[in-house]
Chains A and B, each alone.
Chain A
Amino acid sequence: MYVAVKGGERAIEASWRLLDKARRGDTQFAELSVAQIRTQLRLAVARVMTEGSVYDEELAALAIKQAAGDLVEAIFLLRAYRTTLPRFGYTQPVDTEDMRIERRISATFKDVPGGQMLGATYDYTQRLLDFTLLAQGDGESALNVKRTEPAAQDAMPRVVSLLDKEGLIEQERVSEDAPEPGDLSREPLSFPASRATRLQNLARGDEGFLLAMGYATQRGYAHSHPFAGEIRFGTVAVEMELDELGVAVEIGEIDVTECQMINQFAGSSEVPPTFTQGYGLAFGHSERKAMAMALVDRALRAEELGETIGSPTQDVEFMLSHSDNVEASGFVQHLKLPHYVDFQSELELVRRLRAKHAARDDDNDQQEQAA
């Protein structure tokens, strides 16, 4: 008797052992190394770094290995590790205009200063399963690619800044007295949320959620007429001002994907019709995420731009409260925890209400017979 709730401790230990075994899989195959994951599953690593909000390829790869490929679980592992890290300070804003470009495309102009660079992309592959990968691993072609180094890259001005020259797009300049952006990992999310806070939330937000919501904005749930002004992926320097030195020094480089969406804006009585922006930024090569983020960012600017708010994709509180997959996954799956007590309370209520209901029917019957 009472077995149902006893033995939790032993059960948990046994479950850990089973989990280790299940993760390792069939031992006749070689164990997957963290380095292999880091170098060969780079897109998974990028997603885990972005949503885990830690730029560390090795830790992200470790998390993927430990989570047996469950990326949301890997993101959770990385976030839980991140909590324990001390905060030394904040870096200078990253200048993406100075990016060492791997790929850069614009859908708004046929040619742009600096040129279009296709880089490594799945976009123009025909999605046919490549059975040579199944048979003998990578073919020669993968091993013998020589990257053509572009002759000393010129700075690549952002496409948006070209429109800016004509005044066709809203100005995105930081005013002198702008407040420091908040830090969502150090302050609770509160509403109304500034754009800086919203962008932080979206950067950590679940790719699937942003993709679906961004898609919804294209299908009429918040009309925003987007154009992919520019998508660039490459390496940027991270600089930090050190107290002892008093100047900004480069402390490392990170790979980022940036997306600037250009959207129409009808204008208002004060502002002539103009283009507006949605912005997306993600660690590593994460174009889908950066684009979806930019669409959602633009939709969430409805209030500030004086647009009618008629769809959940424009509702800041709805979007920001539900974008985080660590929160969402935890709370959805907490339903696996016992709810005996709450359920017992409901059970008692439903039984009582049913008894009352039955008694009322009996009463009615008797009254009818009497009549």
Chain B
Amino acid sequence: MNVPDTTMQTAAHDSAAEGYNFAYLDEQTKRMIRRALLKAVAVPGYQVPFASREMPLPYGWGTGGIQVTASIIGRDDTLKVIDQGSDETTNAVNIRRFFARTTGVNTTRKTSEATIVQTRHRIPETPLTDKQILVYQVPMPEPLYRLEPRTAECKKLHALADYGLISVKLYEDIVHHGSIATTYDYPVIVNGRYLASPSPIPKYDNPKMHMNPALQLFGAGREQRIHAIPPFTPVKSLDFDDHPFEVQRWDHACALCGSTDSFLDEMIVDDAGKRMFVCSDSDYCHDRREQQGTENSEGESA
């Protein structure tokens, strides 16, 4: 990333950003976060503590991701922000507006145009490239916290790579339910060493993390942790030989674009409980519809 300078670029609608540094955080803080990021990249999957700052958005609403993005973004970057796969959800709109206001960089809805994609709970359907960075907003970076709430204890377990607890949990799932009952925030082993939380993405997205050409950065603001998956790093979702990892499948296609290979959101469309399934990734869905539109001119526009 290029080094941001401190002069404001855009003067339109950013009166409130006056008096603040480029991307809100001061340069010292950004440097501190970048140091944590470098360490995180050097030790894939290891949670690096960092001195998270109070941000003008609430904890739990993406402060970790925002701090990571703020410390790596430069003037030439193009930013995309998604929440639940969509660019249009209110929190994504709010965060995108925050960066537009404090940095003046270009924002986009197209995954392929973005150099930085900040996300909450999804990995875009469109494959990422080695020119892109995916920044995750992470509520709970510790994959063991439901089993061991004490961070001091968890640290020891990670140091010893003692992950028996979580295997037992998955085994108990199979005994109780016949299958592993974790559907999102499905734990992974990064680079064959550290157990890590992928943030609450659906397990449907887990395979996309494996050997991804893009750099994946995870920021947890409230919990003050950063971890990373460098490009082309093996990421394995936990499973057993006789119960291999598998992802969700739908009996439906997207009602708008007809996709049968994307993650679908279910919507209840009337009082009678009629349902409709549509792509959670709004850009992917939109692209497909545009292509269909150019292929047959009576295609629906949305």
The stretch of A35-43, A91-99, A229-237, A336-344 that contacts the partner chain: A336-344
Judge whether B280 is part of the interface by a CB distance below 8 angstroms.
Answer: yes
Nearest Cβ in chain B — how far from A128, in angstroms?
39
In the complex, the chain A residue whose C-beta lies closest to that of B122 is A341
Name the B residues within 8 Å of A353 (CB-CB): 177-178, 181
Name the B residues within 8 Å of A321 (CB-CB): 151
The 8 Å CB contact of B58, one of A76, A339, A342, is: A76
Judge whether B53 is part of the interface by a CB distance below 8 angstroms.
Answer: yes
Q: Are A334 and B61 in contact (CB under 8 A)?
A: yes
| A 328-369 contacts with B by CB, 8 A | 329-334, 337-342, 344-349, 352-353, 356
Taken residue by residue from 105 to 133, chain B's Cβ proximity to chain A (1 for < 8 Å, 0 otherwise) reads as 00000000000000011100000000000
- The interface size of chain B toward A, counting residues with CB under 8 Å, comes to 68
The stretch of B78-86, B157-165, B208-216 that contacts the partner chain: B78-86
Q: Are B92 and A334 in contact (CB under 8 A)?
A: no
The stretch of B37-45, B190-198, B229-237, B264-272 that contacts the partner chain: B264-272
Q: Are A84 and B184 in contact (CB under 8 A)?
A: no
Judge whether A268 is part of the interface by a CB distance below 8 angstroms.
Answer: no
Name the A residues within 8 Å of B29 (CB-CB): 83
- The interface size of chain A toward B, counting residues with CB under 8 Å, comes to 50
Judge whether B253 is part of the interface by a CB distance below 8 angstroms.
Answer: no
In the complex, the chain B residue whose C-beta lies closest to that of A316 is B152
Given the interface pairs A80-B55, A84-B20, A189-B224, the reply to whether A342 lies near B202 with Cβ below 8 Å is: yes
Q: Are B248 and A345 in contact (CB under 8 A)?
A: yes
Judge whether B91 is part of the interface by a CB distance below 8 angstroms.
Answer: yes
Interface of A is mostly: helix
Name the A residues within 8 Å of B91 (CB-CB): 337-338
Nearest Cβ in chain B — how far from A71, in angstroms?
15
Judge whether A153 is part of the interface by a CB distance below 8 angstroms.
Answer: no
Residue of A7, A8, A9 most packed against chain B (CB within 10 A): A8
Q: Are B54 and A82 in contact (CB under 8 A)?
A: yes
Q: Are A2 and B256 in contact (CB under 8 A)?
A: yes
In the complex, the chain A residue whose C-beta lies closest to that of B264 is A344
Q: Are A80 and B88 in contact (CB under 8 A)?
A: no
Name the B residues within 8 Å of A84 (CB-CB): 20-21, 24-26
